[in-house]
Amino acid sequence: MAGISGVLLEYISPRPGKWSTLQKGLFAFPGSDYILVAAVSALFTISTGVVGGGIGHKHYFINRQVGKNYSSSLPANEMTSYLESQFTFYKAAATQWAALMTAAPIVDACWARVTYQKHQIDIIITAGVNNACSAGVTPYCAQGQDKTMPGTINTMAFISNALTPGALVNAIQTATEAKTQILREFNITCPVTGSFASGTNTDATLIAAATDTAFCEYAYAGPGTLLGFMLASGVRGALTQALRTYLGNRSKRL
């Protein structure tokens, strides 16, 4: 990988229906309509998800697939009902969950791992760009009528190192910049305006970092830092693979 010698990007393929170890104390389970990640120790998390959004400490992280015609005026309530029905341990730990929602196929998610010395970041991305938009150019609510194909980019990233609150916010910025750059390289445009897309109008991002500061607590995670470079590289790699799968499947349907 160009940029920092020794940084390794690899792709992993957890077995569906089986628990896999991502990092020490961090486990993943790809279900039929969701990806669940569970941490033994709570992770310091920032999320834009429908449930558990904001900044806090979380144990459970889920990206749930819904139907392409999904519609709910109260998506947070609907998601909560889903979690209660699917996971018997949800109610006892409801505040420990962070949940994302997507219409993109969970089975097509890309799992990437970036490592460098004592640093590791695991990234899981589901992608669809049917409702691609250009921030500040695409009129608000101009889309949403065409629900024939899924379209959203959900990113979950798990960092083995501790981050300050500012660095956690910085990581969201870095992941978003990497996402937008890949969309530009794929020439993804907004179907309403024709402008280059900066994302889709329903993207969600979740960054979760370890809380053990014995090794180091990072104050920054911008693209010019080691962790920022690792995160951006992982997002680039995972989103590239996820988009190739999505666009390949879409072309088969046309």
- Retrieve residue 62's tokens: 């889920």
Q: Is 56 part of any domain?
A: yes
Can you give the pLDDT of all 254 residues of the chain as single tens digits? 556 779 999 999 999 999 999 999 999 999 999 999 999 999 999 999 999 999 999 999 999 999 888 888 889 999 999 999 999 999 999 999 999 999 999 999 999 999 999 999 999 999 999 899 999 999 886 444 444 344 699 999 999 999 999 999 999 999 999 999 999 999 999 999 999 999 999 899 999 999 988 778 999 999 999 999 999 999 999 999 999 999 998 777 65
- Retrieve residue 19's tokens: 């628990």
pLDDT at 150: 47
Taking residue 210's Cβ as centre, other Cβ atoms within 10 Å add up to 24
**Among candidate residues 198, 197, 194, 191, the one with its CA nearest the CA of residue 177:** 198
- For 174, what's the count of Cα atoms within 13 Å in the CB-facing half-sphere? 24
Spatial distance between the Cα atoms of 101 and 76, rounded to a whole number of angstroms: 10
pLDDT at 253: 66
Q: Is 3 part of any domain?
A: no
Q: Which residues pair with 121 in a beta bridge?
A: 114, 159
Q: Is 2 part of any domain?
A: no
**Among candidate residues 51, 54, 118, the one with its CA nearest the CA of residue 87:** 51
State in Å, rounded, how far the first CA of the chain is from the last one: 35
pLDDT at 148: 36
Do the beta carbons of residue 207 and residue 172 sit within 8 Å? Answer: yes
Q: Is 157 part of any domain?
A: yes
The gap from C-alpha 166 to its chain's centroid, in whole angstroms, comes to 19
- What pTM value is reported for the model? 0.94
The gap from C-alpha 172 to its chain's centroid, in whole angstroms, comes to 10
Alpha-helical regions (H) of the chain:
75-86, 165-185, 226-253
The count of structural domains within the chain is 1
**What phi and psi, each to the nearest 5 degrees, are found at residue 104?**
-75, 145
Q: Is 181 part of any domain?
A: yes
Q: Is 1 part of any domain?
A: no
- The percent of the chain in helix, strand and coil, each rounded to the nearest 5, is 30, 35, 35
Do the beta carbons of residue 151 and residue 102 sit within 8 Å? Answer: no
Q: Is 168 part of any domain?
A: yes
Q: Is 232 part of any domain?
A: yes
Spatial distance between the Cα atoms of 68 and 86, rounded to a whole number of angstroms: 20
The full DSSP string for 52-119 is S-EEEEEEEEEEEE--TT---S-HHHHHHHHHHHH-TTTGGGGGGEEEEEESS-GGG-EEEEEEETTE
Query: The CATH number of the domain where 162 resides is what?
Result: 3.60.70
- Residue numbers of the domain that contains 93: 8-253
